[in-house]
Structure 1
Amino acid sequence: MVVSAYSHALAPTVMLRGQGAWGEALSRIAQLSQKPLVLGRSQATESLRKQIIIDLQAADLKPTLARLHFDCCEEDLCRLVSQVRSCDAVVATGGGKVLDAGKLLAHRLNLPCITVPLSAATCAGWTALSNLYSPDGAFKSDITLDRCPDLLVFDHSFVRQAPTRTLASGIADALAKWYEASVSSGDSSDGLVQQAVQMARLMRDQLLIDSPLAIQDSSSAAWARTAEACALTAGIVGGLGGARCRTVAAHAVHNGLTQLRACNHMLHGEKVGFGILVQLRLEEELGNNRLAAQARRQLMPLLKSLGLPVSLNDLGLAHASQGDLQAVCAFACQEGSDLHHLPFSVTATALLEALLGTPKQSSVRF
């Protein structure tokens, strides 16, 4: 078989991980930059950003601190362009949306990009992809970047300071790699895609075992394995599999849910985890996949034990109108949506029924 040429933005040029990784990174950052822009957002991580600035100054660099006002959105990016032009690299410090914004700024201005995740909520620190949102937090589109970050610094001491909720969210997001890739790419004849799908399966198995202890004890080896699976291994799956190892309905449901301001308080992975359950219901009812119900029963206890949403009630949508939920489904089913990577057709009406659990009740648990 002749395999057509296909490009992969596989991984960051350099990745440092473990306790004290930030200290090891300073000399590498100095090789990439003298005047880095340090980008962040959350007030909860402000003290960490201040320490990062102090450390960069101690390394004889001249950092500039910048703060996002919203999620990764054009309004913020345009505002920051003039500030970034006076710098020679972007150091993105924070959660997934800050990392996405930093990567996109560096991409547009052709600057070196350093990602410093301050939680394990997503694999955004790894990937050559940025998700773009509106100022209200509604998903708009994803943007493919030329390359992965030049340097990824995953310092355990930084990530341990994040709320436990962010790790639970990251677990759901990482689990989705298997449930989505196995559907969209499980029958691929491409060797790298096959390997990416199997890596996603192994990651799922490890998370099923390690996640409960990881949530309970951040000093455990299970915590380190789980946090790195969420922030690093999940990125490897996407890099190795490339665009052919796609997100499917779980992320499409997330994208639809972001259109409702009523659940903007929910984290990315929390919406994706709920989306996995919706996808499995679609597979069971429309795809005649008998294993989907078994997968749902296996996954449900873990999601509940981690405090992740498994119903519209949990998402804060118990009183959402029929029109609001129809808007979620219409967005998730629009042309070009990842949902259409399912091996069967799904209408907005069918998705609404899966979202509700039954056609008439909006808060039935799966």
Structure 2
Amino acid sequence: MKVTVGPAQYIRRMGLLNEAGTYIKNFGKTAALIGGHNSLSIVEKSLRQSLSEYEISLEYSLWYGGESSQTNIDRLVEALASHNIDVVIVVGGGKAIDTVKAVAYRLNKPLVAIPTIAATCAAATPISILYNDEGEFIGIGRESKAPDLVLADTTVILNAPVRYLIAGIGDTLAKWFETKSSVKNAVPTAINQTAIVIAGQLYKTLLRIGKEAVQSVEKLDLTKELEDVIDAIILISGSVSGYGGDDCRTAGAHAIYSGLTIFPEIHETYHGEIVAFGILAQLCMEGAGKEELNTLISYYKEIGLPFTLRQMGIKSLTDHQWKEFGEITVTIEDMANMPFEVTPEMVIEAVRRADEIGNEILSTTTKC
């Protein structure tokens, strides 16, 4: 049995970026920084200053490429492989972090992750979600490493657009719905049963304080509720995958997310927003009652998550597009984690049903 439970160390507090060198000095004297354009512009100056105080040289500052793709991973490995770098630092969101987790694995270097948004658990998992260069999902990369250190500066995260936090809540909600489905395929153990309990507690926490956390970002007011939700999204969510391993993986909701990425119009919708809709479709596949979906959609409305295809940019699909979507979605490995065999027709029916229920609620809201 092999279990990788999140990063070796996770630190979260205000102004942490200004103290980064205190922790990164333990990994060596030369560093490469990789991230998104916006994240680099936010983080690099303060990070460089903090590193210099401990005589750590930031040798390279590189854009990750915009997609967590094999092309970008190979490009970054080639750029750094022949240079004397002690530690790799990644800043940004899930795609940047996933890209650099694969780079650090290939280079066999320590990795420090500085998430600038709380939108996924990428900083706390040992896998990378891979896409092609156009943003279509390809698969899960296991030649990847969990960060040795995660530095979550709540000042940076608080000042990020609130939509990222909302998407992070959507992605984290899926832990409960997918884990309790995928674990049905496994023999109960102390470890996977612990993962289920953590996922259930995450779900309760987000229902209880999710709205308050969103309001905290809207008011630029760092509250305990926001701190708890940041920890839930970035760290605790990743521990569910860590403890659960292959017994408690992502399932129908993430498979539907991945299938929907074949439509270019959805690429402006964030990962966790699409996953949140995927939860509704998974529940439909599982035969959940309309009342259960209505309850979850009410929460989505409260915090700002989408619950129809139109809200995610998909206004209509042809019969051919529906067929292509269904056929692709069942080939995605996440779908194999469902406790029953799923056919393309089941996927199409579930997504249409979830969209229908969502539109009913949306129309009622509009009339009111």
Classify the secondary structure of the residue corresponding to 1:357.
Answer: helix
* Structure 2 letter corresponding to 1:158: V
* Structure 2 letter corresponding to 1:66: L
Moved more, 31-40 or 52-61: 52-61
Question: Which structure dedicates a bigger proportion of its chain to helix?
Answer: 2
Classify the secondary structure of the residue corresponding to 2:109.
Answer: coil
CA distance, structure 2, for counterparts of residue 353 and residue 364 of structure 1: 15
Classify the secondary structure of the residue corresponding to 1:125.
Answer: helix
Deviation at residue 179 of structure 1 after TM alignment: 0.3
Deviation at residue 69 of structure 1 after TM alignment: 2.4
CA distance, structure 2, for counterparts of residue 59 and residue 83 of structure 1: 25
CA distance, structure 2, for counterparts of residue 146 and residue 166 of structure 1: 24
Residue 276 (structure 1) aligned with residue 279 (structure 2): yes
CA distance, structure 1, for counterparts of residue 139 and residue 164 of structure 2: 23
Deviation at residue 27 of structure 1 after TM alignment: 2.3
> Which one of 64, 67, 90 corresponds to residue 68 of structure 1?
64
Cα distance change on mapping 1:196 and 1:313 into 2, 3 Å: same
> Which one of 222, 225, 230 corresponds to residue 225 of structure 2?
222
Deviation at residue 330 of structure 1 after TM alignment: 1.5
* Structure 2 letter corresponding to 1:128: P
CA distance, structure 2, for counterparts of residue 34 and residue 110 of structure 1: 16
CA distance, structure 2, for counterparts of residue 362 and residue 260 of structure 1: 22
Deviation at residue 243 of structure 1 after TM alignment: 1.7
Relative to the length of structure 1, the TM-score reads 0.91
Residue 343 (structure 1) aligned with residue 365 (structure 2): no
CA distance, structure 2, for counterparts of residue 197 and residue 91 of structure 1: 32
Aligned equivalent of 2:270 = 267
C-alpha deviations, 1:81-127, integer Å up to 9, x for none?
A: 23222222210100000000111100011111111110110010111
Aligned equivalent of 1:287 = none
Contact map agreement 1:124 1:235 (CA 8 A) in 2: yes
Deviation at residue 188 of structure 1 after TM alignment: 4.2
CA distance, structure 2, for counterparts of residue 140 and residue 73 of structure 1: 9
Figure out how many residues of one structure are paired with residues of the other and give that number.
Answer: 353
Classify the secondary structure of the residue corresponding to 1:120.
Answer: coil
* Structure 1 letter corresponding to 2:107: L
Aligned equivalent of 1:3 = none
| Pairing 1:263-342 to 2, within 5 Å after superposition | 263-284=266-287, 290=288, 293-334=290-331, 337-342=333-338
* Structure 1 letter corresponding to 2:5: L
Aligned equivalent of 2:35 = 40
Deviating beyond 6 angstroms after TM superposition, the runs of 4 or more aligned structure 1 residues are none
Residue 15 (structure 1) aligned with residue 20 (structure 2): no
CA distance, structure 1, for counterparts of residue 302 and residue 127 of structure 2: 31
Deviation at residue 59 of structure 1 after TM alignment: 2.8
Cα distance change on mapping 1:49 and 1:358 into 2, 3 Å: closer
Cα distance change on mapping 1:165 and 1:45 into 2, 3 Å: farther
Contact map agreement 1:9 1:147 (CA 8 A) in 2: no
Aligned equivalent of 1:53 = 48
Relative to the length of structure 2, the TM-score reads 0.90
Classify the secondary structure of the residue corresponding to 1:314.
Answer: helix
Aligned equivalent of 2:203 = 204
Deviation at residue 299 of structure 1 after TM alignment: 1.1
Cα distance change on mapping 1:101 and 1:198 into 2, 3 Å: same
| Pairing 1:115-130 to 2, within 5 Å after superposition | 115-130=113-128
CA distance, structure 1, for counterparts of residue 155 and residue 111 of structure 2: 21
Deviation at residue 296 of structure 1 after TM alignment: 1.8
Cα distance change on mapping 1:246 and 1:294 into 2, 3 Å: farther
Classify the secondary structure of the residue corresponding to 2:310.
Answer: coil
Cα distance change on mapping 1:363 and 1:295 into 2, 3 Å: closer
Deviation at residue 57 of structure 1 after TM alignment: 2.8
Contact map agreement 2:104 2:111 (CA 8 A) in 1: yes
Deviation at residue 147 of structure 1 after TM alignment: 4.3
Contact map agreement 2:39 2:92 (CA 8 A) in 1: no
CA distance, structure 1, for counterparts of residue 304 and residue 323 of structure 2: 26
Moved more, 43-52 or 199-208: 43-52
Classify the secondary structure of the residue corresponding to 1:140.
Answer: strand
Deviation at residue 208 of structure 1 after TM alignment: 0.2
Contact map agreement 1:311 1:365 (CA 8 A) in 2: no
Classify the secondary structure of the residue corresponding to 1:131.
Answer: strand
Contact map agreement 2:14 2:154 (CA 8 A) in 1: yes
Aligned equivalent of 2:365 = none
Moved more, 15-24 or 32-41: 15-24
Aligned equivalent of 1:170 = 168
Aligned equivalent of 1:251 = 254
Deviation at residue 362 of structure 1 after TM alignment: 11
Contact map agreement 1:99 1:125 (CA 8 A) in 2: yes
Deviation at residue 358 of structure 1 after TM alignment: 7.9
Classify the secondary structure of the residue corresponding to 1:92.
Answer: strand
Unaligned 5+ runs, structure 2: 362-368
CA distance, structure 1, for counterparts of residue 357 and residue 297 of structure 2: 18
Q: What is the identity percentage for the equivalent residue pairs of Structure 1 and Structure 2?
A: 29
Cα distance change on mapping 1:182 and 1:362 into 2, 3 Å: closer
Classify the secondary structure of the residue corresponding to 1:217.
Answer: helix
Contact map agreement 2:64 2:100 (CA 8 A) in 1: no
Contact map agreement 2:212 2:225 (CA 8 A) in 1: yes
